[in-house]
Amino acid sequence: MSKLRVAVIGAKGRIGSEAARSVEAADDLDLVAAIDRDDPLETLTEAGTQVAVDLTHPDAVLGNLEFCVGHGIHAVVGTTGWTTERLATLRGWLEAAPGTGALVAPNFSIGAVLTMQFAQQAARWFESVEVIELHHDNKADAPSGTATRTAQLIAAARTEAGRPAQHDPTTHGLDGARGADVDGVPVHSVRLRGLLAHQEVLFGGTGETLTIRHDSLHHSSFMPGILLAVRTVPSAPGLTYGLEHFLTDGPAAADGSPTGPRGA
Ligand SMILES: NC(=O)C1=CN([C@@H]2O[C@H](COP(=O)(O)OP(=O)(O)OC[C@H]3O[C@@H](n4cnc5c(N)ncnc54)[C@H](OP(=O)(O)O)[C@@H]3O)[C@@H](O)[C@H]2O)C=CC1
Ligand SMILES: O=C(O)C1=N[C@H](C(=O)O)C[C@H](O)C1
């Protein structure tokens, strides 16, 4: 079988460089382009790219995707900064390019995906919930894409369960002390040298609390998810939001890596 022709955009970055190495090391994938800020996007078409992985910056990602989708290149997107409006724009481009797929994943690590699912499951049962995300000191966006998505999922689950808005007794406080409000869920962002990517979801009920914590200790935590997405997106036309949609209940890989429809 011919190898899937893959490009990485943002290939000099923290995660992009690791992704380029992982694609290069995969037997069934061919790294045909590894571009960064000053390289023309035409490099992708000239290289015959079938799937592009975008790991750049919230300011750059939409322009990159307009080019990719416009040229029928499937996209795997880890870059953050997504809003409802931005997702709608991307969906519109994909509708005009039938057969082309894009996966936007707030987080590619299996632990983070499970954290979101567990949080969504717990949300209906607890009166209070707050999210704390902690990242390295070079992160451009706050709250993180993962924390934003986690809070949105929690809020939707609370609404579905008929839970009222959370009680907040604060009448005196400094701006920001209670975090950012994401659909009614307070989200607190810590930026600290030495950290990579971490998140705690704290639930509180009568006489008890529940904490769900996930830690990405190395960029390698994102690689199995990125490779799974690269292998799956050509058979998933349109917009997919969240890696969970590419996971299956098939046999687990020996190292616990997520598996998908192609046994990736
Ligand atoms: N979904 C997930 O699981 C994960 C997502 N991320 C996200 O990925 C993104 C990148 O993170 P990180 O690697 O830490 O960031 P970095 O700043 O280390 O890397 C981004 C790279 O993209 C380059 N770049 C910026 N603009 C463009 C452009 N227009 N075209 C091509 N390259 C460009 C940057 O160049 P320059 O330095 O010159 O600006 C840099 O080399 C962030 O949004 C982050 O949140 C990160 C980890 C996991
Ligand atoms: O910038 C990062 O590092 C990360 N960004 C993503 C996010 O904003 O959620 C995923 C992960 O947290 C690492």
**Helix, strand and coil in the chain, % to nearest 5:** 35, 25, 40
Ligand 2 pocket, CB under 6 A: 80, 106-107, 135, 139, 144-146, 197
- 10-residue mean pLDDT profile of the chain (264 residues): values are 96 98 98 97 98 98 98 98 97 98 98 98 98 98 98 98 94 96 98 98 98 98 98 98 90 69 45
5 annotated as belonging to a binding site for a ligand: no
Contact between 112 and 239 under an 8 Å Cβ cutoff? The reply is no
Cβ(148) – ligand 1 distance below 6 Å:
no
ipTM of the complex: 0.99
Q: What is the second-level CATH architecture of the domain 110-165+178-217?
A: 2-Layer Sandwich (3.30)
How many whole angstroms from 166 Cα to the centroid of ligand 1? 35
CA distance 141 to 120: 23
Active site residue 135: yes
Same fold, 4-104+220-246 and 110-165+178-217: no
Q: Ligand 2 atom 4: the closest Cα is on which residue? A: 197
pLDDT tens readout for residues 85-108: 999 999 999 999 999 999 999 999
19 annotated as belonging to a binding site for a ligand: no
Contacts for 139 with CB less than 8 Å, ≥ 6 apart = 191
Out of 3, 74, 135, 218, the active site residue is 135
At 231, which amino acid appears? R
Specify the pairing of strand 197-205 against strand 208-216: antiparallel
136 annotated as belonging to a binding site for a ligand: yes
Cβ(143) – ligand 1 distance below 6 Å:
no
At 166, which amino acid appears? Q
pLDDT score recorded for residue 169: 93
Closest CA relative to residue 142, chosen from 153, 134, 152, 130: 134
pLDDT score recorded for residue 254: 66
CA distance 94 to 100: 6
Contact between 135 and 197 under an 8 Å Cβ cutoff? The reply is yes
DSSP class of residue 252 equals P
Cβ(56) – ligand 1 distance below 6 Å:
yes
Backbone angles phi, psi at 60, to 5 degrees: -105, -25
Domain 4-104+220-246: CATH superfamily is: NAD(P)-binding Rossmann-like Domain (3.40.50.720)
pLDDT score recorded for residue 258: 74
Domain map (residue ranges) of the chain:
4-104+220-246, 110-165+178-217
Out of 3, 74, 139, 218, the active site residue is 139
Structure tokens at 237: 């036309």
186 annotated as belonging to a binding site for a ligand: no
Return the best residue to mutate from 137, 139, 193, 215 for the ligand 2 pocket (most ligand atoms within 8 A of CB). Answer: 139
Active site residue 3: no
pLDDT score recorded for residue 49: 98
Cβ(55) – ligand 1 distance below 6 Å:
yes
- Dihedral angle of Cα 189, 193, 196, 197, to the nearest 10 degrees: -10
Q: Which ligand is nearest to the CA of 77?
A: 1
CA distance 128 to 119: 12
How many whole angstroms from 58 Cα to the centroid of ligand 1? 8
Over its C-alpha atoms, the chain yields an Rg (Å, rounded) of: 19
